[in-house]
């Protein structure tokens, strides 16, 4: 009982650091999840743009030259250029998101390693505290029992 009360009264200096590190890791995991969702959305958008481009090119190749006048050809060319530009911007954004995800995962890994180290230090500090507390309790008991006579003491 005394041991439990003393343990509860003692505040470890690593506790706050552990809580902060865990909170940072949780926040980073949430950020990673958000980046993964954006990455997935960007990939889907890019696939859609590429499919749209391929569909338009197939439609163009099937059309006869008599169906197209020069103005239509010019507009179609501009449309394809704009679509190609959107695809390139999408690919660039995809690479940026992949780099951001890689960076956040590396930070999370480093933070996880730090958290494990802090947990080990916390456990070591806690064990040392309990050993010290036990030594103090045993010391008080020994001092208390030195002056009393027991039925087994020699006279």
Domain boundaries, the chain: 23-114
Q: How confident is the model at residue 8 (pLDDT cuts 50, 70, 90)?
A: low
Give whole-number Cα distances, 143 to 129, 138, 147, 154, in Å.
21, 9, 8, 19
pLDDT in tens, 29-39: 999 999 999 99
| Helical packing angle, 70-146 and 13-62, nearest 10° | 160
- Residue whose tokens read 């030259």: 65
CB 42 within 8 A of CB 93: yes
Radius of gyration of the chain (CA): 35
Residue 1 vs residue 112, higher pLDDT:
112
Q: What is the DSSP letter of 63?
A: S
What pLDDT, on a 0 to 100 scale, did the predictor assign at position 37?
Answer: 98
pLDDT in tens, 57-91: 887 777 666 677 788 888 888 999 999 999 999 99
pLDDT in tens, 129-141: 889 888 888 877 6
Residue 140 vs residue 96, higher pLDDT:
96
- Residue whose tokens read 């954004």: 93
């Amino acid at each position: 009982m005394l041991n439990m009360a003393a343990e509860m009264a003692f505040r470890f200096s690593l506790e706050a650091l552990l809580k902060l590190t865990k909170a940072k890791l949780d926040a980073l995991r949430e950020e990673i999840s958000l980046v993964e969702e954006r990455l997935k959305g960007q990939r889907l958008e890019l696939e859609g743009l590429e499919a749209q481009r391929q569909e338009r090119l197939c439609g163009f190749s099937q059309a006869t030259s008599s169906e197209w006048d020069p103005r239509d050809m010019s507009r179609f060319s501009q449309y394809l250029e704009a679509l190609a530009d959107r695809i390139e911007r999408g690919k660039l954004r995809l690479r940026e998101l992949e780099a951001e995800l890689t960076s956040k995962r590396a930070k999370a890994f480093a933070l996880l390693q730090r958290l494990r180290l802090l947990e080990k230090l916390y456990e070591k500090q806690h064990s040392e505290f309990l050993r010290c507390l036990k030594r103090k309790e045993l010391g008080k008991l020994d001092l208390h029992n030195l002056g009393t006579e027991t039925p087994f003491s020699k006279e």
